[in-house]
């Protein structure tokens, strides 16, 4: 509760924030702070200077851009929940956001923070990986777009270079015949702490077969894993529930290397991961089939 | 809530759920909690704690910290060794040889043990300076499991003791050998484990401590919940008479027993206050509280033997219990006898043999925790009942009804001489089963199978024994000068006729201001609004006894017993005085609405302000023959005798409230996730003074029990590193996971308490029993694994569901030839 | 561009009163409220943002005041538990419902619980039981098993007009 002495600066624009980020040697961005402030309280890390970007209007917009929705990195979970565009074009994102912590945290925690923190328990990295989001990173000189599968590098690490900041996330609009799924295993009670999570998106063709699918699991590796093997087996099929079950009961988990900690053993995570990723796919299929019917 | 009353009520206010007097200030943020106290020129203490579970302290260098900005002074274990005598120990030798100081001296014995205290002008400065303290530790091998601690070759926590055993004793009642002979079968259970958790209140510990050199008095503005127990430790430790220790409490943000042993920290503050000449403010944060506060007792039961008849009659229980006290005993080994208040639980078996050992380990010291020490034993008894039913394919309801003590047997003397005052356990169970829709779920259980979900129905039958006979401490240590129990109250008219009540208690949400006012109002013919209750323990202002405080389910008996006695004395004085002034017979005088008046001739009256005026400011008008003070103190003393120390026999508690809980759980077969679908609590707390407060206590105890059963566990690794030192890892149950429980109350008045009430509030850990019971029912439909741990998070349930059918099940049923 | 600072003069309005104070950058809002302004009605019970007893409304939104810096509250309108009652001192409907339903025991989590409730009902005047439980999920209570708190909020939700 008693933080180390800090310096604080509150820039008026993203450009100014970037300038501070470049100029100061040990500076970090303070957005919602719902993880960073805890780190500072425990004095286990953090920065000498905090650059407060929580009020930057440029980071707070949700807007339609082409075939996607651009969500400003500073948009809070609560703002996601209240966005008509999200509820129309990517409704599952709101279901996912509603499961993050509690109202107080949702009022301050941000989309950008969740992605940049990239803790294995975070909700957004697996989901955004599954739906193929793109991350807009601004550096002192240029802006670049990073695919989700490249953005989440390792525990607490992203593809952002020093001096770069995440300014927005592009979420594609859900196509007709597509559906999303997200299922997390929380330990310690409902929506308390996710030890593993599965996320999926499915796009069905008019004949009901799978045209496109992404299946992502988190909590078993240093970043969300796309299960390419499963995906390729699914494409072109119209799986029955029993097909999906057998696909996942035979899942190759050789790439899985979950942590073992006070929340759950590695062995349990390993057992749970296929179940929750399967359930995410089942939910995505249900949603997609419902979409196709309606 | 529905209430079944076995006796009509006569009182006007007692028995009614009137609005609580405490509520308005608490709802407006005007409560005064310990950390809300401010004193001019206060300084702030930061405690630097051990990062190791077990280590020798090779050196401590505070020189850089002392030079840091704002630092006033520091305190180390070596200094404490010179300034403080070791705290007294409750255990006899050899456990009594343990030396416990407020800061670690030469060695740390648990992660989080305070090692250095720093006092500074601001909290931040104290914290910053802590980073400059240099401590060299030599890590030692840690002892973390109680079963390891008893081994001959185990590392010793306290070398001078010669072992890690704090206390050992055998409790032997009836004849377990004869029961084994008489049995049709013997059920043997290898091991049951009751896990370490804490009911941890949301308010952590806090204190503001002042030293007055003129009088030599220390004032502790704090939230300790048993201040005179603290004084008993602190006076000798500081080498001063205990009357120099002035404790003040007001609002306390929960305790559940956890704030009883804070004398350790208050002593640090006292030494610093004297050393610095400044008021010392100590604010504990959650991580400090979980690391170094007070944990619940962890207990392992080994080699359990249960002789039974084929019809399910349980003849007795034999077990070895190893209780883990953590690094220092402190309140312990009182728990080593307190469990024996409920030796046979709610059951009729009369042959019990428990070999009980308490050990120290490299973990945070334990202390009383809601359901203290009885809950562990009652859990074992309920596990035994369910496991016997499971192994013999008996119905879990039928086996309970067969073995329950029946209402017509009340009062019931247990094998060790405790007397259960009243109760209707079978009736309570029927009520609980009705509330959870037992028949419906029995059907659903069948129809759900094969769906991926399994339904289990569980029962937790438990007791909340209240009003300890402190004489039981002599069973632990015959030299302890304790027996009986008691609380004191003063009820007076103040100068202008105000009715003012003081008690020695330290309420933490139990509504003492309200219920005391109800009792006084009934006796003095007032509205409770006209009664002011000065809340909290304040040994300069309020009355108190050595037992004063709020703990161990006793206020309704001891506290209200004292209030009742003092009010009756005041009533008599008021009536006598008024009769003399009104020239009436005392039998004709009644008290109503703050006025004494003559029955049937109500024009002849005098208000309380008039009576107060005569006594306090106008006493030449006092009728000469009268000796009234209108200031009446009464000590309620329960009718206890000394127990028989040799035989470990005696009446250890006055009242026995019962809690019979029933629940329905749904388990996801794939994952082990457990969801509570129905939950019901039927309590019998005797005559209810304030039914809503009692129901609230039932809810609260059930909520914490559900948390402990499924989510909350204090975990250490093999080095004694605490793995759950904050609410990130210690997953305190949230609103999403406590179901909308149903309650019903049966009121069987206690024949032994002054008002028919029973102490209650601890709840006896009923949800731990009920949830384990329901999970056993689930396992009965699947792997047939035994539920052998009190903590069953999804992962453990998953393991039980998938337990290899050829793996040892930890249970044996030996049939004897008939 | 304003340079980084270790402390700053901020102005906040707390329960209708404007305060201007110099705060260190490292000071958490909860400590500012309790230690600097001495508004001790707002409590804290953890150090990881889990217990919710420090909840206050910042510009109308409920937040945990241990999860933001005081310096971030510059120019904000803050409502704490001490600002809920009516001018004449009488309890507001939420406070009253908590008392009526015995949703208060020790009273320590209560300030945060009230602020979470205030916010929940401002967003959703007639919440379902599930929505109530989600609404107070960030507020731990160890006394009530949440039962009577949920009941109090259910009773408020059943009323036509809640927030005055």
Over residues B788-804, the pLDDT tens digits come to: 999 999 999 999 999 99
Question: What chain C residue is nearest to B252 in terms of C-alpha separation?
Answer: C106
Question: What digits encode the pLDDT tens for the residues B761-792?
Answer: 999 899 999 999 999 999 999 999 999 999 99
* Chain A residue closest in CA terms to B794: A187
- Whether residue B736 and residue A191 make contact (CB cut-off 8 A), yes or no, is yes
User: Running DSSP on this structure, what letter comes out for residue B76?
Assistant: E
Tell me, what's the pLDDT at B9?
Answer: 59
Condensed to tens digits (0 to 9), the pLDDT of residues A232-286 reads: 999 999 999 999 999 999 999 999 999 999 999 999 999 999 999 999 999 999 9
Give which of A58, A73, A68, A49 is closest to A124, Cα–Cα. A73
Which site among B17, B26, B127, B709 would you substitute to test the C interface, given the most C Cβ atoms closer than 10 Å to its Cβ? B26
Helices B794-801 and A266-293 pack at an angle, to 10 degrees, of 90
* 3-state SS, residue B751: coil
pLDDT band of C164, cuts 50, 70, 90: very low
State the Cα–Cα distance between residues A59 and C90, nearest whole angstrom: 42
B673/A189 Cβ within 8 A: no
Place of tokens 């309108």: C77
Average of pLDDT values for A19-45? 96
Decide if B736 and A189 are in contact by the 8 Å CB cutoff.
yes
CB contact set of B177 (below 8 Å; sequence gap of 6+): none
Distance CA B102, CA B264 (A): 5
How far is B510 from B555, CA to CA, in rounded Å?
Answer: 9
pLDDT of residue B816: 80
Radius of gyration of chain B (CA): 28
Spatial separation of the C-alpha atoms in residues B78 and B103, rounded to whole Å: 9
- Euclidean distance between CA atoms B763 and B732, whole angstroms: 18
Residue C158 to chain B, least CA–CA distance (Å): 17
User: Which one of C95, C147, C148, C154 makes the best mutation probe of the B interface by having the most chain B beta carbons within 10 Å?
Assistant: C147
Q: Is A60 on the interface with C (CB under 8 A)?
A: no
Three-state DSSP at C117 gives helix
Pairing assessment for the beta strands B43-49 and B114-120 based on DSSP bridges: antiparallel
Mean pLDDT of all residues in B698-703: 98
Task: Tell me what the pLDDT averaged over chain B comes to.
Answer: 97
Residue B1 pLDDT more than 90? no
For A162-181, what is the mean pLDDT?
Answer: 96
Element (H, E) at B684: strand B674-684
Burial class (CB in 10 A: 0-12, 13-18, 19+), C44: buried
Chain A residue nearest residue C119, CA to CA: A103
What average pLDDT does the segment C26-30 reach? 98
Q: How far is CA B550 from CA B256, B259, B472, C62, in A?
A: 9, 10, 19, 34
Show residues of chain B in contact with A42, CB under 8 Å.
287
Confidence class of residue B754 from pLDDT cuts 50, 70 and 90?
Answer: very high
C-alpha torsion B367→B369→B373→B379, nearest 10 = -140
List the domain boundaries for chain A.
7-52, 57-172, 178-293
pLDDT > 50? residue C162: no
Closest to A74 measured CA to CA, from A154, A13, A159: A13
User: Alpha-carbon distance A83 to A76, whole Å?
Assistant: 11
Instruction: Give me the pLDDT at residue A292, please.
Output: 87
CB < 8 Å to C44, chain A? 1
In terms of DSSP bridges, do strands A210-218 and A157-158 run parallel, antiparallel, or are they unpaired? unpaired
Closest Cα to residue A81, out of A68, A98, A69, A64? A98
Q: Which residue has the tokens 């009729």?
A: B348
Nearest to A73 by CA among A23, A105, A22, A117: A117
Name the residue among B39, B13, B368, B14 with its Cα closest to residue B201.
Answer: B368
Radius of gyration, CA atoms only, chain A: 19
Backbone angles phi, psi at B402, to 5 degrees: -65, -35
Over pLDDT 90: what percentage of chain B?
Answer: 97
3-state secondary structure of B171: strand
Task: Report the CATH number of the A57-172 domain.
Answer: 3.30.465.10
Q: Which residue of B has its CA nearest to C66?
A: B285
- The CATH code of the domain at C7-83 is 3.10.20.30
Q: Which residues are CB-neighbours of A23 under 8 A, at least 6 positions away?
A: none
Query: Token pair for residue B689?
Result: 């003074």
In this complex, the residue of B127, B673, B731 whose CB is nearest that of residue A2 is B127
Give C-chain residues touching A78 at CB under 8 angstroms.
61
B424 closest CA partner among B774, B654, B686: B686
Percent of chain B with pLDDT over 70: 99
Q: What ranges do the domains of chain C cover?
A: 7-83, 93-158
Beta strands in B309-387 (DSSP E): 316-324, 351-359
Kindly tell me if the per-residue pLDDT of B90 is higher than 60: yes
Rounded to an integer, what distance in angstroms lies between the CA atom of residue C114 and that of residue C118? 6
Cβ within 8 Å, pair A37-C134: no
Is pLDDT at B241 greater than 70 in this prediction?
A: yes
Residue B641 structure tokens: 């005798």
Distance between CA atoms of residues B196 and A224, nearest Å: 35
Looking at the partner chain, which of C4, C52, C139 has a beta carbon nearest the beta carbon of A9? C4
Q: B500-503 contacts: CB < 8 A, separation 24 or more?
A: B500/B532, B500/B533, B500/B534, B501/B531, B501/B532, B501/B533, B501/B534, B501/B563, B501/B566, B502/B533, B502/B534, B502/B541, B502/B542, B502/B543, B503/B533, B503/B542, B503/B543, B503/B548, B503/B559, B503/B562, B503/B563
> ipTM above 0.90?
yes
Contact check, Cβ <8 Å, C48/A37: no
B401 part of contact set with chain C, CB < 8 Å: no
Most B CBs within 10 Å, among A5, A262, A275, to test the B interface: A262
Q: In CATH, what class is A7-52?
A: alpha beta
User: Does residue B673 belong to the interface with chain A, where contact is any CB pair within 8 Å?
Assistant: yes
Distance in angstroms (rounded) separating the CA atoms of residues B292 and A293: 60
* Four-residue CA torsion sign, C103, C109, C111, C117: negative
Write out pLDDT tens, residues B501-524. 999 999 999 999 999 999 999 999
Percent of chain C with pLDDT over 90: 95
C1–A102 C-beta distance less than 8 A:
no
Buried b / exposed e along B60-91 (16+ C-beta atoms within 10 A): bebeebeebebbbbbbbbebbeebbeebebbb
- What's the average model confidence in pLDDT over B171-179? 98
Query: Which of B668, B794, B801 should we substitute to test contact with A (largest number of A Cβ atoms within 10 Å)?
Result: B794
Residues of chain A found within 8 Å of residue C61, distances taken between Cβ atoms:
78, 107
Angstrom distance (rounded) from CA B370 to CA B762: 5
Question: For residues C123 and C133, what is the distance between their CA atoms, to the nearest angstrom?
Answer: 14
pLDDT of residue C161: 59
SS (H, E, C) chain A: CCCCCCEEECCCCHHHHHHHHHHCCCEEEECCCCCHHHHHHCCCCCCCEEEECCCCHHHCCEEEECCEEEEECCCEHHHHHCCHHHHHHCHHHHHHHHCCCCHHHHHHCEHHHHHHHCCCCCCHHHHHHHCCCEEEEECCCCEEEEEHHHHEEECCEECCCCCCEEEEEEEECCCCCEEEEEEEEEECCCCCEEEEEEEEEEEECCCCCEEEEEEEEECCCCCCEECHHHHHHHCCCCCCHHHHHHHHHCCCCCCCCCCCCCCCCHHHHHHHHHHHHHHHHHHHHHHHHHHHHC
Token reading at B84? 């403080």
- CATH for A178-293 is 3.30.390.50
Q: Does pTM surpass 0.90? A: yes
**Which residue, B656, B531, B467, B515, is CA-closest to B15?**
B515
Decide if pLDDT at B10 tops 90. no
Question: Which residues of B are less than 8 Å from C148 in CB distance?
Answer: 696, 699
Of C63, C66, C69, the CB nearest to A107: C63
Mean predicted lDDT score pLDDT of chain C: 96
CA trace torsion C10, C13, C18, C20 (10° rounding):
-10
Give the integer Cα–Cα distance in Å for B107 and B54: 7
Taking the C-alpha atoms of C52, C6, A165 and A90 in order, what is their torsion angle to the nearest 10 degrees?
20
Q: What is the pLDDT of residue B6?
A: 52
Domain formed by C93-158, architecture: Orthogonal Bundle (1.10)
Q: Are C72 and C63 in contact (CB under 8 A)?
A: no
User: What span, in angstroms and rounded, lies between the C-alpha atoms of A139 and A141?
Assistant: 5
Query: A94 CB near a chain C CB, below 8 Å?
Result: no
- What domains appear along chain B, each with residue ranges and CATH number? 34-140+204-252+260-292 (3.90.1170.50), 169-198+294-471+643-804 (3.30.365.10), 486-636 (3.30.365.10)
Distance CA B358, CA C48 (A): 34
Q: Which residue of B has its CA nearest to C24?
A: B124
Using one digit for the tens of pLDDT, what is the confidence trace for A180-223? 999 999 999 999 999 999 999 999 999 999 999 999 999 999 99
- Tell me the HSE value of B179 on the side-chain side, using a 13 A CA sphere: 23
For B81-90, B261-270, B548-557, which range has the lowest pLDDT when averaged over its residues?
B548-557
The Cα–Cα gap between B663 and B675 comes to: 11
Would the pLDDT of B261 be above 50? yes
Nearest-by-Cβ selection for B671 from A190, A192, A275:
A275
How long, in residues, is chain C? 164
Contact state of A271 with B733 under an 8 Å Cβ cutoff: no
Q: What residue of A is the nearest CA neighbor of B728? A: A193
The pLDDT tens digits for C82-141 are 999 999 999 999 999 999 999 999 999 999 999 999 999 999 999 999 999 999 999 999
The pLDDT assigned to B708 comes to 98
Helix (H) or strand (E) holding C158: helix C147-158
């Amino acid at each position: 509760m008693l933080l180390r002495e800090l310096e604080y600066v509150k820039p008026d624009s993203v450009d100014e924030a970037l300038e501070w980020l470049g100029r100061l040697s040990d500076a970090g961005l303070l957005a919602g702070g719902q993880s960073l402030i805890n780190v500072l309280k425990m004095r286990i890390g953090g920065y000498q200077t905090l650059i407060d970007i929580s009020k930057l209007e440029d980071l707070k917009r949700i807007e339609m851009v082409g075939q996607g929705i651009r969500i400003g990195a500073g948009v809070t979970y609560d703002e996601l929940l209240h966005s008509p565009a999200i509820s129309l074009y990517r409704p599952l994102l709101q279901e996912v956001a509603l499961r993050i912590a509690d109202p107080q945290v949702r009022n301050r925690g941000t989309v950008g923070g969740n992605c940049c923190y990239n803790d294995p328990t975070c909700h957004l990295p697996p989901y955004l990986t599954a739906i193929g989001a793109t991350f807009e990173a601004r550096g002192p000189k240029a802006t670049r777009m990073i695919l989700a599968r490249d953005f989440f590098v390792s525990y607490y690490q992203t593809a952002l270079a020093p001096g770069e900041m995440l300014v927005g996330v592009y979420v594609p609009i859900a196509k007709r015949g597509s559906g999303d799924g997200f299922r997390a295993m929380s330990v310690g009670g409902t929506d308390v702490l996710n030890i593993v999570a599965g996320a999926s998106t499915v796009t069905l063709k008019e004949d009901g077969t799978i045209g496109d699918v992404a299946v992502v699991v988190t909590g078993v590796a240093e970043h969300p894993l796309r299960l390419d093997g499963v995906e390729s087996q699914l494409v072109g099929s119209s799986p029955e529930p029993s097909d999906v079950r057998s696909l996942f009961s035979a899942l190759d988990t050789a790439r899985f290397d979950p942590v073992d900690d006070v929340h759950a053993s590695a062995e349990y995570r390993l057992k749970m991961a296929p179940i929750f990723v399967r359930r995410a796919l089942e939910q995505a299929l249900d949603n997609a089939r419902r979409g196709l019917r309606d | 809530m529905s209430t079944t009353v076995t006796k009509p009520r006569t009182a006007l206010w007692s028995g009614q759920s009137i609005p609580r007097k405490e509520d308005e200030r608490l709802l407006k943020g005007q409560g005064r909690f310990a950390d809300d106290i401010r004193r001019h020129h206060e300084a702030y203490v930061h405690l630097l704690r051990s990062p190791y579970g077990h280590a020798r302290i090779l050196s401590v260098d505070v020189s850089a910290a002392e030079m840091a900005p704002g630092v006033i002074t520091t305190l180390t274990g070596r200094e404490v060794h010179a300034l403080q005598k070791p705290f007294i120990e409750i255990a006899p030798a050899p456990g009594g040889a343990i030396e416990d100081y407020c800061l670690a001296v030469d060695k740390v014995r648990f992660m989080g043990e305070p090692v250095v205290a720093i006092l500074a002008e601001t909290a931040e400065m104290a914290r910053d300076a802590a980073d400059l303290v240099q401590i060299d530790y030599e890590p030692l091998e840690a002892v973390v499991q109680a079963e390891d601690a008893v081994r001959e070759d185990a590392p010793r926590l306290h070398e001078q003791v010669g072992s890690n055993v704090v206390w050992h004793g055998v409790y032997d009642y009836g004849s377990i050998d004869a029961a084994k002979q008489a049995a049709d079968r013997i059920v043997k259970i290898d091991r049951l484990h009751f896990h370490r958790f804490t009911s941890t209140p949301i308010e952590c510990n806090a204190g503001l401590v002042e030293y007055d050199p003129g009088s030599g008095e220390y004032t502790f503005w704090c939230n300790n919940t048993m201040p005179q127990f603290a004084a008993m430790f602190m006076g000798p430790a500081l080498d001063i008479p205990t009357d120099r220790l002035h404790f003040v409490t007001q609002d306390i943000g929960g305790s559940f027993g956890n704030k009883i042993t804070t004398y350790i920290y208050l002593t640090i503050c006292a030494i610093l206050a004297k050393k610095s000449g400044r008021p010392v403010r100590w604010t504990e944060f959650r991580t400090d509280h979980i690391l170094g506060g007070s944990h619940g007792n962890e207990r392992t039961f080994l080699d359990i033997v249960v002789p039974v008849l084929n019809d399910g009659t349980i003849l007795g229980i034999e077990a070895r219990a190893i209780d883990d006290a953590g690094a220092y005993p402190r309140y312990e080994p009182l728990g080593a006898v307190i469990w024996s208040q409920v030796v046979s639980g709610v059951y009729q078996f009369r042959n019990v043999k428990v070999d009980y050992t308490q050990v120290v380990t490299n973990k945070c010291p334990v202390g009383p925790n809601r359901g203290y020490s009885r809950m562990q034993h009652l859990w074992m008894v309920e596990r035994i009942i369910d496991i016997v039913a499971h192994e013999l394919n008996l119905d879990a309801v039928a086996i309970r009804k067969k073995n329950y003590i029946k209402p017509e047997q009340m009062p019931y003397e247990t094998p060790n001489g405790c007397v259960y005052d009243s109760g209707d356990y079978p009736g309570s169970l029927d009520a609980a089963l009705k509330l959870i829709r037992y028949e419906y779920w029995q059907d659903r259980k069948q129809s759900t199978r094969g769906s991926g979900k399994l339904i289990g129905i569980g029962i937790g039958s438990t007791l909340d024994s209240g009003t300890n006979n402190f004489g039981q401490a002599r069973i632990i240590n015959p030299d302890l000068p304790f027996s009986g129990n008691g609380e004191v109250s003063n009820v007076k008219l103040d100068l202008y006729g105000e009715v003012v009540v003081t008690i020695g208690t330290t309420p933490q949400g139990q509504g003492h201001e309200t219920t005391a006012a109800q009792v006084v109002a009934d006796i003095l013919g007032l509205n409770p609004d006209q009664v002011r209750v000065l809340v909290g323990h304040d040994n300069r202002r309020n009355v108190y006894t050595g037992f004063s405080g709020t703990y161990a389910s006793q206020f309704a008996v001891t506290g209200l017993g004292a209030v009742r006695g003092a009010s009756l004395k005041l009533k008599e004085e008021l009536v006598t005085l008024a009769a003399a002034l009104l020239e009436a017979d005392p039998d004709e005088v009644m008290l109503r609405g703050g006025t004494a008046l003559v029955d049937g001739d109500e024009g002849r009256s005098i208000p309380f302000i008039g009576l107060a005026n005569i006594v306090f400011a106008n006493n030449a008008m006092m009728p000469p023959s009268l000796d009234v003070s209108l200031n009446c103190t009464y000590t309620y003393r329960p009718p206890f005798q000394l127990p028989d120390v040799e035989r470990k026999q005696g009446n250890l508690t006055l009242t026995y409230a019962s809690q019979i809980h029933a629940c329905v759980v749904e388990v996801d077969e794939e994952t082990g996730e457990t969801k509570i679908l129905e939950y019901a609590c039927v309590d019998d707390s005797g005559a209810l003074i304030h039914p809503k407060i009692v129901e609230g206590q039932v809810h609260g105890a059930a909520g914490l029990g559900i948390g402990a059963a499924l989510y909350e566990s204090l975990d250490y690794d093999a080095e004694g590193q605490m793995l759950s030192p904050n609410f990130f890892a210690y997953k305190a149950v949230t609103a999403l996971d406590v179901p909308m429980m149903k309650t019903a109350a049966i009121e069987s008045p206690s024949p032994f308490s002054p008002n028919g009430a029973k102490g209650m509030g601890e709840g006896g850990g009923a949800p731990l029993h009920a949830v384990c019971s329901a999970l056993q029912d689930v396992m009965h439909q699947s792997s047939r694994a035994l539920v052998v741990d009190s903590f069953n998070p999804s992962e453990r349930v998953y393991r039980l569901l998938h337990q290899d059918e050829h793996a040892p099940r930890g249970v044996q049923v030996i049939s004897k030839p008939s | 561009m304003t340079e980084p600072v270790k402390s700053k003069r901020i102005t906040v309005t707390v329960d209708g009163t404007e305060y201007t104070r110099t705060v260190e950058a490292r000071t958490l809002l909860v400590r500012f409220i309790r230690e600097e302004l001495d508004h001790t009605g707002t409590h804290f019970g953890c150090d990881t943002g889990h217990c919710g007893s420090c909840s206050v409304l910042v510009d109308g939104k409920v937040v945990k005041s241990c999860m933001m810096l005081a310096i971030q509250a510059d120019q904000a309108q803050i409502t704490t538990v001490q600002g809920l009652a009516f001018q004449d001192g009488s309890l507001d409907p939420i406070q009253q419902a908590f008392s009526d339903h015995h949703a208060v025991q020790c009273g320590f989590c209560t300030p945060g619980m009230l602020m979470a409730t205030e916010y929940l009902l401002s967003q959703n005047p007639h919440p379902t039981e599930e929505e109530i439980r989600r609404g107070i999920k960030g507020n731990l209570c160890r006394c009530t098993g949440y039962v009577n708190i949920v009941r109090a909020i259910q009773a408020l939700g059943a009323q036509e007009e809640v927030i005055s």
